[in-house]
Structure 1
Amino acid sequence: MIVVMQPGATQEQIQAVIDRVAEFGFQTKLAPGAERMVIGVVGSPLPDTLKEALERLPGVEEVIRVSKRYKLVSREFYPLDTVIQVRDVTIGGNEVVVIAGPCSVENERQILETARAVKAAGASMLRGGAFKPRTSPYEFRGLGEQGLKLLAKAREETGLPIVTEVLSAQHVDLVAEYADLLQIGARNCQNYLLLEAVGRAKKPVLLKRGMAVQIEEWLLAAEYIVAQGNEQVLLCERGIRTFETFTRNTLDLNAVPAVKHLSHLPIIVDPSHGTGRWFMVPAMMLAAVAAGADGLIVEVHPNPDHALSDGAQSLTPENFAAVMPKLAAVARAVGRSLRGVATAEPSLSPAD
């Protein structure tokens, strides 16, 4: 439910709405607009008697029930864009943010070399898996806490905030001790106990779309996190499974404007998993920014041919550095800027 205040409503009238909602046992979220204040009412079920009580208060123009199944993440509920702060990095504002790094943390030399390279090219955050969900139990599944320690060492040296995946509710506290942004992978998009656990952790969360998850289901998964009081949720489109086999997944760039229309949460795109082929990644990076994405998460490895996971979709540091100025040009063309990269006038061809 949202309460739309009249233009010029006083602070006392706004406070009266907040107090009345509290009397019914619910919470409020304020969304100041250019002309009027919008107050979201948080809770379920919201009785009709509350709606009637609010409509009678001075300064209230209209009380509207949110029609979407997802409430807190709906743009109906909160019309302004949510901006997420991860250390010194802002996601969801005018700047496009790039997160880069290897699929898996393999050893100290690999993660430090990659961190230095992606920072030099303009990346704002470092990604790397310490706990890896793999299709086969015999594949490399990460270094565990040792991998988290190596990520923390890379952050200490480069200053890059780190994002890494958490696989189970039991690991949330451990991963949150090291990570700046907690990633929920595609396989766990609808692991509701895990979603609630990261919601209680009160750290920013990157929620990847499941490979067979519809957009409404994805937003409902985000609702599980926000319902726990954690509003710092970042959505990530990483491709969905279709009949096509040439690419690893089908990168659904439709999701970017769709999410922007339906939700106030920021959205980034993962073109590495979205294609599964490194030579396609630069083109999809450019396309994602043109579509309106708030950022990218890209796999970069110093020696992809010898990577312990996802080498086929990883850019080399040289390929990554080559596409970043082009990405800055696309961002500028759509009225934005690329954090960490000067806006020169390069060719926009993705080919290197």
Structure 2
Amino acid sequence: MKLNLDIQPLSSWVNVTNEPLIISGPCSAETEEQLLSTAHLLKATGKVSVLRAGIWKPRTRPGEFEGIGSIGLEWLKRAKEETGLPTAVEVATAKHVEEALAAGVDILWVGARTTANPFSVQEIADALRGHDVPVLVKNPVNPDLSLWIGALERINNAGIKKIGAIHRGFSSFEKSSFRNEPMWELAIQLKTHCPELPIINDPSHICGNRELIPYIAQKALDLDMQGLMIESHIDPSVAWTDAKQQVTPAALAELVERFSIRQPESKNEAFADKLADLRKQIDKIDDLVIQKLGERMAIVEKIGEFKRDNNVTILQVHRWDEIMKRRGAFASALKLDPNFTEKFLELIHSESIRKQTLIMNKDKTAATIVEVAPPVQI
């Protein structure tokens, strides 16, 4: 499925002084002095192309600091005048859009909580109609690609052609080292559906702590994301929100300096020929893997028929445990990642159960269909 979004390239709506695009600034605008001081230090690094700051902060629970409000837009405007950096803020309502545009904000972004609500996204889209302003859409809190795509489509349908996505990770019940699980596969799927869509990675919100940011940021660049949104505060230890995930402007400069910038393609003919050869080898192996999976499922169907005829349940837990132990050990010996092996085997097992369930209930399903089907009128 390809998305038919009408998009202008990133280079046409933001001046990237250095690659990659770096959007940085405090999680929250707290005071005028804090915002201006941070902005000047970020400008001095020569690494930042856009200044960001949270003006309205949608918090999970009431009573927490929910942003300084509209007064912060005046501080942001002054920071822009003094540093020359274009500015970006999050908007969650039509009123936010109107106030931000009136204050001369250059780039708007839709937050993860807002993206999850189509009513809110449509309200923002309606407020944007008739304006020519870049808009970035963060992924929804939960891993729902359709919801993310839907938000992008709503904004684009309002006439916004300068549009991009922000990958900030997804909430998960599983405990992890990350604040939000990256779930890179969803960002990759989005890029596959719309190759021309710029995707900016937000390692600050994925990591939740500054120590992990270099790893996530580099991986995002290696996956050909067009930029990074990294939160920076003049003194993170006293930040009013998300203190652990913010870095100082000096630390940001060091981080960006260490990035390895790689190109999506190489003009070297020898490289291209070698890469094509290796990909042919992979294609042959993939074909063989699919062929063997087909053969395996044919045997699964025979097992399903055998179990049905002998009135045996589909699932035998001891057999599954045996598969996981033996195949897991074999995969480990072949230096395959244990998590990958487990997910791969679980997918195969789920498909095997699905096929056997169809076989077990084939006659019952057919009988049910005959029973509930309306009579044919001749």
Q: Normalization by structure 1: what TM-score? A: 0.68
Q: Which residue of 2 aligns with 1:98?
A: 22
Q: Which has the higher helix share?
A: 2
Give the alignment partner of residue 248 of structure 2, picking from 316, 331, 341: 316
Preserved contact between residue 237 and residue 252 of structure 1 (Cα < 8 Å): no
Q: 1:131–1:144: 8 Å Cα contact kept in structure 2?
A: yes
CA distance in 2, matches of 1:86, 1:311: 34
Counterpart secondary structure, 2:164: strand
State the partner residue of 1:273. 205
- Inter-partner Cα distance in structure 2 for 1:219 and 1:323: 31
Q: Distance in 2 between matches of 1:242 and 1:161?
A: 34
- Rounded to whole Å, the distance in 2 between the matches of 1:224 and 1:255 is 19
CA distance in 1, matches of 2:51, 2:57: 16
- Give me the whole-angstrom Cα distance separating, in 2, the residues matched to 1:277 and 1:195: 31
- Counterparts in 2 of 1:81-96, with a 5 A limit? 82-84=8-10, 88-89=14-15, 95-96=19-20
Structure 2 residue matching 1:224: 3-state secondary structure: helix
Question: Take 2:215 and 2:189, find their aligned partners in 1: how far apart are those partners?
Answer: 21
Show the counterpart of 1:342. Answer: none
Secondary structure of the equivalent of 2:258? Answer: helix
Structure 2 match to 1:118: 42
1:188 to 2:114 alignment? yes
Match of 1:123, SS state, is: coil
CA contact (8 A) 1:101 1:115 kept: yes
Match of 2:166 among 225, 236, 240: 236
The corresponding residue for 1:154 is: 79
Indicate the SS of the match to 2:34: helix
Q: Is the 8 A contact 1:206 1:233 kept in 2?
A: yes
> Does 2:138 align with 1:208?
yes
Letter of the aligned partner of 1:233 in structure 2? Answer: I
**Whole-angstrom distance in 2 between the partners of 1:253 and 1:231:** 25
Deviation at 1:181, TM superposition (A): 0.5
Q: CA-to-partner distance for each residue in 1:186-206, whole Å, 9 max, x for gaps?
A: 010032333423541431101
Higher RCO (CA 8 Å, separation ≥ 6 residues): 1
RMSD over aligned CA atoms reads: 2.3
Taking a change above 3 Å as real, the CA distance of residues 255 and 90 of structure 1, as seen in their structure-2 partners, is: farther
Aligned-residue identity in percent = 34
Q: Deviations over 1:84-138 (max 9, x none)?
A: 35765259xx942000010000111111121122222211111101111111221
Q: In the TM superposition, what whole-angstrom CA distance separates every residue of 1:57-78 from its partner, at most 9, and x where no partner exists?
A: xxxxxxxxxx65xx532xxxx7
The whole-number CA distance in structure 2 between the counterparts of 1:335 and 1:100 is 28
Residues 199 and 224 in structure 1, CA contact (< 8 A), matched pair in contact too:
no
Give yes or no for contact 2:16–2:49 (8 Å, CA) kept in 1: no
Partner residue, 2:335: none
Which has the higher Rg, Structure 1 or Structure 2? 2
Q: Distance in 1 between matches of 2:108 and 2:149?
A: 17
C-alpha distance in 2 between matches for 1:86 and 1:176: 19
The 5 Å alignment of 1:1-352 reads 71-73=3-5, 82-84=8-10, 88-89=14-15, 95-121=19-45, 122-178=47-103, 179-189=105-115, 190=117, 191-200=120-129, 201-245=131-175, 246-263=177-194, 264-327=196-259, 330-332=260-262
Q: Which moved more, 1:173-182 or 1:254-263?
A: 254-263
Paired residues of 2:140 and 2:147 also in contact (CA < 8 A): no
Q: Deviations over 1:258-277 (max 9, x none)?
A: 22221121100000001111
Please say if residues 106 and 143 of structure 1, whose CA atoms lie closer than 8 Å, have aligned partners that are also in contact.
yes
Unaligned stretches of 5+ in structure 1?
A: 1-66, 337-352
AA partner of residue 103 (structure 1): C
Name the CA distance, whole Å, in 2 between partners of 1:262 and 1:167.
26
Q: Distance in 1 between matches of 2:90 and 2:203?
A: 17
**Cα distance in structure 2, aligned partners of 1:205 and 1:175:** 12
The separation in 2 between residues aligned to 1:109 and 1:315, in whole angstroms, is: 18
Q: Residue 237 of structure 1 contacts residue 255 of structure 1 at CA under 8 Å; is this kept in 2?
A: no
Equivalents in 1 of 2:184, 2:64: separation in Å? 30
Q: Distance in 2 between matches of 1:132 and 1:229?
A: 27
Secondary structure of 1:149's match? Answer: helix
Contact 1:86–1:180 (8 Å) recurs in 2: no
Instruction: Work out the CA distance in 2 between the residues paired with 1:335 and 1:277.
Output: 33
Q: TM-score, normalised by structure 2?
A: 0.64
